[in-house]
Chain A
Amino acid sequence: KAGVTQTPRYLIKTRGQQVTLSCSPISGHRSVSWYQQTPGQGLQFLFEYFSETQRNKGNFPGRFSGRQFSNSRSEMNVSTLELGDSALYLCASRGGSTVGGETQYFGPGTRLLVL
Chain B
Amino acid sequence: TQLLEQSPQFLSIQEGENLTVYCNSSSVFSSLQWYRQEPGEGPVLLVTVVTGGEVKKLKRLTFQFGDARKDSSLHITAAQPGDTGLYLCAGATDTNAGKSTFGDGTTLTVKP
Contacts and interface: CB of A to CB of B under 8 A. Distances in A.
B50 interface: yes
Given A105-B45, A109-B41, A100 B99 contact: no
Interface in B2-55: 29-31, 33, 35, 40-45, 48, 50
Nearest to A110: B42
Given A108-B41, A108-B42, A33 B98 contact: yes
B92 interface: yes
Contacts, number: 78
B94 to A, nearest CB: 4
Interface string A46-71: 00101000011010000000000000
Interface string A69-110: 000000000000000000010101010111111111111110
A100 B29 contact: yes
A33 B101 CA distance: 12
Interface residues of A, number: 33
A104 B30 contact: no
B100 A103 contact: no
B33 A45 contact: no
Nearest to B105: A42
A19 interface: no
17 contacts: A42-B102, A42-B104, A42-B105, A43-B43, A43-B88, A88-B40, A96-B98, A98-B95, A98-B97, A100-B29, A100-B31, A103-B45, A103-B48, A106-B42, A108-B42, A109-B40, A109-B42
9 closest pairs, A vs B, by CB?
A100-B30, A48-B98, A106-B42, A43-B102, A101-B31, A101-B50, A100-B94, A56-B99, A100-B31
Given A48-B99, A100-B94, 15 more contacts: A33-B100, A42-B104, A48-B98, A56-B96, A94-B97, A96-B98, A99-B97, A101-B50, A102-B31, A103-B48, A104-B45, A106-B44, A106-B45, A107-B42, A109-B40
